[in-house]
């Protein structure tokens, strides 16, 4: 997998969309911090901060 290119603004939008539109388990709703995944290949994935 190529190292992801950093897009922090897009990552922040994906995170905000998740929090606004995805219903996570009611018991953990406020305690979770979902990860915005920018891409993946096999068992490797990268985020919008350029971390893989």
The rounded distance, in Å, linking the Cα atoms of 4 and 47 is 7
50 is a domain residue: no
Q: Does residue 13 belong to any structural domain of this protein?
A: yes
Is the pLDDT assigned to residue 32 strictly greater than 80? Answer: no
Report the pLDDT value the prediction gives residue 31, as an integer from 0 to 100: 77
DSSP helix/strand/coil, 24? coil
Residue 47 domain flag? no
Indicate whether 9 belongs to any domain.
yes
Q: Is residue 16 part of a domain?
A: yes
Looking at the predicted structure, is the pLDDT value of residue 29 above 70?
A: no
Residue 3 vs residues 8, 17, 29, 35, 36: alpha-carbon distances, Å: 15, 24, 31, 17, 15
Q: Residue 52 domain-assigned? A: no
On whether residue 51 sits in a domain, the answer given is no
The parent domain of residue 9 ranges over 1-24+34-42
Reported pTM: 0.60
Can you give the pLDDT at residue 27? 67
- Looking at the DSSP bridge assignments, the partners of residue 40 are 45
DSSP class of residue 47 equals E
Q: Is 18 among the domain residues?
A: yes
């Amino acid at each position: 997998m190529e190292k992801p290119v950093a897009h922090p603004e897009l990552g922040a939008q994906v995170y905000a969309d998740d929090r606004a539109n995805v219903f996570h388990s009611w018991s953990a709703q406020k305690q979770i911090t979902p990860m915005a995944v920018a891409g993946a290949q096999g068992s490797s994935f990268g985020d919008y901060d350029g971390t893989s």
